[in-house]
Amino acid sequence: MTVVDNVGARVVARAKALGFASVGIVPVEPLPHLADFQDWLRHGYQGEMAWLGRNPESRANPQTLLEGARSIVAVTALYRSDDEPSEARAPGRIASYAHGYDYHRVLEERLGRLAAFIRAETGAEVADRAAVDRLPLLEREVAARAGLGWQGKNTMVLDRVLGSFFFLAELVVDADLGSVGAPVRDHCGSCTACLDACPTNAFVAPYVLDARLCISYLTIEHRGPIPRDLRPLMGDHLFGCDICQDVCPWNRKAPDTALFPFLGRPDIESLTADQILVLSEDEFRARLELSPLQRARRPGLLRNAAVALGNSGDTRWVALLGHVLATEAEPLVRGHVAWALGALGGRWAWRALEKAQLAEEDVYVLEELEAALGARNAKREG
């Protein structure tokens, strides 16, 4: 298919009218940094995200995503919202991107409308495929090639005006749309604010993240027990983490979103760890409908809530934790509740742990109970 005069500029204008914050267009070509990605995989930094290691070569070759692919329209969509509860609240922080509705459906629908515009403008049956996290593609590299920013030391794509609180998405088409945008240089300079602020030291080097140590990974993608040595470092994070973005100088004046689906939902922003810890499966599905928080699944989210309460230092949560320890069906949750009781300590916490130890049959939970009661002995000796 031949290029249509100025169609790229019109596609950019239409994409911005659809709410995308920045847009670039690049030709479909092999991406040069496959070796870096493969080295990252060899170190095991992907953790349990096994899908990242499947057919890694295809991630660097966008032509595998769509037969006859010619162009990629790369876009960003702002998601940070300034709607924050002002009243004093129980522990519980949720990453900014998850305050609204699930971005996959929203962005895929808007990219579908953009594809329809391209067909109308070119007068051709343009084939397309939208990439919003679901396809094997080195998205950050595509974004950098399209001039949407540079990959910062915290591995996020950064822009001097937009900061980094934005989603990345791509539309692959078999039409030649020309080229719009060009790579920008790295503006991180000597700054190491993001590296220094990470409580779990997840950055093994500038520009290199070990996901296994990242709070976002631990609270969302990781399905099993959170390593004990990391739990005290996680604070009150329930789902995801924004620390490395919050401290970035380029985010000081970055704009908030104007897209309704990403504005803070009151039912999500009001969620706290104590509320989450008592959600039944039906309540979990109903309250978190169309929310990114469903990604963690109920056991994972309740596990996170238990850790947040354990890190609070507030013994008023002991009664709630004791109740959950005695009634919760999921061993993963009971195990982390046991840890939380041990972290808070006190007579009533020890009694709840001892009582649970007499009735518990799950070997994992028994291990957590023993370790938690061991914390009592350590505190007494201290």
Active site residue ranges: 133
The two three-digit tokens of residue 146, written as one number: 């399209």
226-233 contacts at long range (C-beta below 8 A, 24 or more positions apart): 226/303, 226/307, 226/336, 228/339, 228/371, 230/200, 231/307, 231/310, 231/311, 231/336, 231/339, 231/343, 232/311, 232/343, 233/199, 233/200
State the first-to-last Cα distance of the chain, in angstroms, to the nearest integer.
Answer: 75
DSSP 180: B
> What residue ranges in the chain does DSSP mark as E strands?
22-27, 71-78, 93-94, 128-131, 150-151, 157-158, 166-173, 203-205, 208-209, 237-239
Q: State which H helix or E strand residue 115 sits in.
A: helix 103-122
The two three-digit tokens of residue 102, written as one number: 């699930």
Beta-bridge partner residues of 73 = 25, 171
